[in-house]
Amino acid sequence: MRKQQELAIEVRGVGRVYGDGAGQVTALSNIFLNIRQNEFFTLLGPSGCGKTTLLRLIAGFDFPTDGEILLYGEDIAPLPPFKRPVNTVFQNYALFPHMTVAQNIGFGLEMLGRPKTEIATRVEEMLALVHMEAMRNRKVMQISGGQQQRVALARALAPKPKVLLLDEPLSALDYKLRKEMQVELKRVQAETGITFIFVTHDQEEALAMSDRIAVMSHGEVRQVGAPWEIYDRPAERFVADFIGETNFLAADVISVDGPRIRVRLSNGSLLDATYPVDLMPEGKVTIVIRPEHAQLATPSSTAMLTGQIEDLTYLGTDTHIRVRLPDTSLFTIRQQNNRVGPIGFSAGDAVSLNISEGAAQILKD
Amino acid sequence: MTERTRQAASAAQKKEITNRWLLSAPALVLIAVASVGPLLIVLLYSVLAPGSYGDVKWELSGQGWFNVFLSRDIFDDTISLADAHVTILWRSAKLAVITTVLCLIVGFPTAYFIASRAPHNRSIWLFLITIPFWTNMLIRGFAIQEMIRNEGLANTILMKLGIISAPIQMLYTDFAILLGMVYVHLPLMVLPLYASLEKLDFRLVEAGYDLYATRLKVLWRIIIPLVKPGIIAGSILVFIPALSSYVIPRILGGGKNLMVGNLIELQFGQGRNWPLGAALSITLVIIVLFAMLYYVKNAGKTGGGHA
Ligand SMILES: Nc1ncnc2c1ncn2[C@@H]1O[C@H](COP(=O)(O)OP(=O)(O)OP(=O)(O)O)[C@@H](O)[C@H]1O
Ligand SMILES: [Mg+2]
């Protein structure tokens, strides 16, 4: 097993407030995070939720107004950025325009006063790692966006930092290149064994790349967990809504039986649902069901839910079907097109919906 | 492309070029009248003979140019180097270079300070920098004179504090000239430096810190190379007027510490030797030209190229 339990970064009750008086902005409040060694850890959240602010606190460009940050158990507050064994891949890369690709990559080591031969070898290693050997003598203005991204990665990795911070490094790239670079980043992380703290507002990217994800909103961490936990077991409405597509249904709690709860939907059907450990559900609750966890069927009296197809969207691999329920809300289903040809339903059809075992989850509001 | 479209394209291109010439005509005329014309007149005067009461006699003569660097003894006609002229040219170049360097040393932190203020505060600082321009240079010169003369403010304060017992002679020294020249030319350095620093991407500075560069290293390896165009522009803007300074050395240098500007003025005034004055002026232009060529070439070599 990988030695993963040692903590690389501990964020303890960190807050950051800008300005004072009426114009005060709370960018972060009461953040607790434990980031393990060798982990690919992602900060995910909408624009303005404080992701960059948190990275800047870790890098040392800015200072918390509350709490402390530990790097391998030591408080890093007294260290200026140039003494922290932490490097950053900036959102806009921030490559030095007056230097070549190789000079950019070697800059950190040069500043650390390493011998010339060591720098040269390391730069070659890094160029090979990011497949940029052919471009070593170009100025950074003479290479493409994707190539700049790789140089920025190589430059940050060259001094072998303990932790690498990546602030939306892929957001400027087009879809295909982004997919390639996602694979590349994962590969580099596995090869170097460096702890990555990766920032994105793209949930798909977060799910694809991370060991664990912290979902943030309005300067707070809403949930931390493995991608499947975040996706399948969202703790609260914000997380469920932000990650992927979701159906929300109102329900009443009937009985609690260990990890399972029996609820009654508005049409009277009974359903078993799971719930977050820190919640004691009672009375009216919201349950969440992912679109791929429900299936269409011909109408039957034993079905969990019934309704009428509002519209269908054919997406190649799947079809999205929106079903109007009797209480007038819409329920989205994603059905895989695992057979050739039309799926056999059309708009206006009366249908019933079956919900997969264990798919329903109760939310904190 | 067919032959016809090609012809049409080249015709359009020709028309475009004619249009461009027409549009730039006013500027070209202005340059010819205001810059090249006067220079040609000065050049012409430098090869004419001096008139007895100033002005020139309309006959060709090498006297003006001869006298720039050489002098003929009035008694025995031996030719020797015109020490005084060479000394003054050398002094002027030295003082202009020192002024430029001092302006850079003082102006860089000033410009950096302004560029790192919040955007809405910057214009106030820039405004303050330009205020001295509103006052006549003569008056500013006299103000400095008043401060540094033997019974002036600086000496009085130093003596009251007991740091010195007798006044230090500051007025009519090179120190006085330098003080005046730095004061007068500083805005010319600060403004182009500010223009470059303001465009500087401060995220690059952060990237430098992130990669273990100390503050000094960041300044040296990142900020200075990136604002080099501003440094070059500021240095040129200070060096040229500093080299041909006239008012400041006159007021603060007294009669004895001449600079080349005063020397030239002398030829057109008391000296009544217009051809020599004209030849000295052209010499100055040539010195400036070569100094600039050398400077820009060498400054451009070590990087930059990023405005
Ligand atoms: N220097 C500052 N002064 C005042 N407010 C600030 C400052 N820096 C950030 N903020 C505020 O703090 C909040 C968080 O900003 P931050 O840049 O961390 O967001 P983000 O999650 O990185 O967003 P994005 O995805 O758009 O990059 C925002 O509301 C922002 O306006
Ligand atoms: Mg950000």
Type of residue numbered B233: A
> In Å, how far is B233's CA from the nearest CA of chain A?
18
Q: Is B83 on the interface with A (CB under 8 A)?
A: no
Strand arrangement, sheet containing A25-36: A25-36, A7-18, A66-71, A74-75
Per domain, the residue ranges of chain B are 3-72, 83-306
pLDDT band at B302 (very low <50, low <70, confident <90, very high): low
Of A232, A256, A286, which marks where a domain is finished? Answer: A232
In tens, the pLDDT along A138-180 reads 999 999 988 999 999 999 999 999 999 999 988 878 888 888 8
User: Which two three-digit tokens encode residue B285?
Assistant: 């232009």
Separation CA A296–CA A309 (nearest Å): 10
Band of residue A356 on the pLDDT scale cut at 50, 70, 90: confident
> By the 8 A CB rule, do A53 and A17 touch?
no
Q: Is residue A240 part of a domain?
A: no
Q: How far apart are CA A63 and CA B181, in angstroms?
A: 43
For residue B115, report the distance from its CA to the centre of ligand 2, in Å: 23
Task: Please give the Cα distance from A332 to A330 (Å, whole number).
Answer: 7
Nearest CA to ligand 1 atom 18: A50
Nearest to B226 among A59, A98, A108 (CB): A98
The type of residue at A169 is P
| CA distance, residue B9 to nearest chain A CA (Å) | 31
Q: Are residues A223 and A251 in the same domain?
A: no
Which chain A residues are closer than 8 Å to B230 by Cβ? Answer: none
The CA distance from B204 to the nearest CA of chain A, in Å, is 5
Mutate to test the pocket of ligand 1, among A17, A43, A49, A217 (most ligand atoms within 8 A of CB): A49
Task: State the pLDDT at residue A227.
Answer: 95
Q: Fill in the DSSP letter of residue B71.
A: E
Share of chain A above pLDDT 70, in %: 98
pTM: predicted TM-score of the whole model, two decimal places: 0.80
Regarding whether A268 and A222 lie in a shared domain, the answer is: no
B 209-238 residues inside an 8 A Cβ radius of A: 209-214, 217, 221-222, 225-226
Contact yes or no for A215/A60 (Cβ under 8 A): no
Query: Can you give the pLDDT at residue B301?
Result: 60
CATH numeric code, B83-306: 1.10.3720.10
Backbone φ/ψ region at B107: left (φ over 0), alpha (ψ -120 to 50), beta: alpha
Q: Are residues A225 and A331 in the same domain?
A: no
* Whether A153 and A186 share a structural domain: yes
pLDDT in tens, A265-292: 888 888 888 887 777 777 888 899 999 9
Q: How far apart are CA B155 and CA B166, in angstroms?
A: 8
Is residue A2 included in any domain, yes or no? Answer: no
Per-residue burial over A102-112, b if 16 or more Cβ lie within 10 Å, else e, is bbbbbbbbbbb
Q: Do A74 and A159 belong to one domain?
A: yes
Residue A193 falls within a domain, yes or no? Answer: yes
What is the pLDDT, as a whole number, of residue A175?
Answer: 86
Ligand 1 atom at shortest distance from the alpha carbon of A50 = 18
pLDDT tens profile B169-222: 888 888 999 999 999 999 999 999 999 999 999 899 999 999 999 999 999 999
Mean local confidence (pLDDT), A171-190: 86
Contact assessment for residue B82 and residue B67, using Cβ atoms and an 8 Å cutoff: yes
| pLDDT range class, residue A2, cuts 50, 70, 90 | very low
Residue B201: list chain A partners with CB under 8 A: 94
CATH number of residue A99's parent domain: 3.40.50.300
CATH number at A284 reads 2.40.50.140
Contact B209 A107 (CB under 8 A): no
Tokens of B188: 């010319």
| pLDDT for residue A184 is more than 80 | yes
Which chain A residue has its CA at the smallest distance from B211's CA? Answer: A108
Q: Which of A179, A205, A232 is the last residue of a domain?
A: A232
Stretch B163-168: mean pLDDT: 86
**Residue B134's pLDDT is what?**
86
**Residues A259, A214: one domain?**
no
Residue ID of nearest Cα to ligand 1 atom 16? A50
Q: What is the mean pLDDT of chain A?
A: 90
Ligand 2 centroid distance, CA of A168 (Å): 7
- In DSSP notation, A105-142 reads HHHHHHHTT--HHHHHHHHHHHHHHTT-GGGTTSBGGG
Q: What is the mean pLDDT of residues B39-47?
A: 91
Please answer yes or no on whether B213 and A81 come within 8 Å at the CB atom.
Answer: no
* Dist. CA A64 → ligand 1 center (Å): 14
pLDDT over threshold 80, residue A110: yes
Q: Which residues surround ligand 2, an ion (CB under 5 A)?
A: A 52
What per-residue confidence (pLDDT) applies to A4? 45
The pLDDT of residue A23 = 85
Ligand 2 midpoint to CA A164 (Å):
16
Note whether A227 and A142 are same-domain residues: yes
What interface predicted TM-score (ipTM) does this complex get? Answer: 0.82
Model confidence at A365, pLDDT cuts 50, 70, 90, reads low
B94 Cβ under 8 Å from any chain A Cβ: no
Contact B226 A97 (CB under 8 A): yes
Residue B1 has pLDDT above 70, yes or no: no
Protein residue whose Cα sits closest to atom 6 of ligand 1: A18
Distance (angstroms) between ligand 2 centre and the Cα of A45 equals: 10
What Cα–Cα distance (Å) separates residue A292 from each residue in A34, A186, A206, A260, A355?
32, 27, 19, 21, 9
**Which residues of B are less than 8 Å from A81 in CB distance?**
206, 209-210
Handedness of CA B126, B114, B175, B265 (dihedral sign): negative
**Angle, CA of A342, A347 and A352, to the nearest 5°:** 90
B300 touches chain A (CB under 8 A): no
Lowest model confidence (mean pLDDT) among A171-185, B55-69, B70-84, B144-158: B70-84
Question: Is B207 an interface residue toward A (CB < 8 Å)?
Answer: yes
- Is residue A291 classed as helix, strand or coil in its secondary structure? helix
Q: Is there a contact between B209 and A108 if contact means CB atoms under 8 Å apart? A: no
Give the pLDDT confidence score for residue B167 in this predicted structure.
86
Residues A254 and A162 in one domain: no
User: Residue A61 and residue B209: Cβ atoms within 8 Å?
Assistant: yes
Ligand 1 centroid–CA A173 distance in Å is 22
Confidence of residue B17 (pLDDT cuts 50, 70, 90): confident
Residues near ligand 1 with C-beta < 6 Å?
A 18-19, 25, 27, 45, 47-53, 201
Q: Do A159 and B304 touch (CB under 8 A)?
A: no
Name every residue whose Cβ is closer than 8 Å to that of residue B163 and which is 6 or more positions away in sequence: none
How is the beta sheet containing A305-314 ordered, strand by strand? A294-297, A350-355, A305-314, A318-324, A330-336
Domain check: are A16 and A140 in the same one? yes
Statement to judge: residues A203 and A323 lie in one domain: no
Within a domain: residue A239? no
Q: What is the mean pLDDT of residues B128-152?
A: 88
- Residue A144 sits in which domain range? 7-232
Residue A1 lies in a domain: no
E strand intervals along A226-315: 247-257, 260-265, 270-273, 284-289, 294-297, 305-314
Is residue A182 in some structural domain? yes
Residue B269 has pLDDT above 90, yes or no: no
Select from A203, A232, A261 the last residue of a domain: A232
- Choose among B212, B217, B225: nearest Cβ to A98: B225
Q: Does the pLDDT of residue B307 top 70, yes or no?
A: no
Residue B304 predicted with pLDDT over 70: no
Specify the range with the lowest mean pLDDT, choosing from A82-86, A192-196, A233-237. A233-237
What integer is the mean pLDDT of B13-30? 87
CA distance A295 to B193: 67
Which pLDDT band, with edges at 50, 70 and 90, does A1 fall under? very low
What's the rounded mean pLDDT across residues A226-232?
92
Among the bound ligands, name the one nearest to the CA of residue A28.
Answer: 1
Q: Do A341 and A272 sit in the same domain of this protein? A: yes
Name the band, by pLDDT with cuts 50, 70 and 90, for residue A225.
very high
Domain identity same for A194 and A309 = no
Question: pLDDT per residue over A232-256, tens digit each?
Answer: 888 888 999 999 889 999 889 888 8
Q: How many percent of chain B have pLDDT more than 70?
A: 97
Q: How many CA atoms lie within 13 A of B296 on its CB side?
A: 13
Has residue A69 got a pLDDT over 80?
A: yes
B254 touches chain A (CB under 8 A): no
End-to-end CA distance of chain B: 39
In a domain, A238, yes or no: no
Is the distance from CB of B144 to CB of B152 less than 8 angstroms? no
**Residue with the nearest Cα to atom 12 of ligand 1?**
A27
| Chain B residues inside the 8 Å CB shell of A83 | 212
Q: How many domains does chain A have?
A: 2
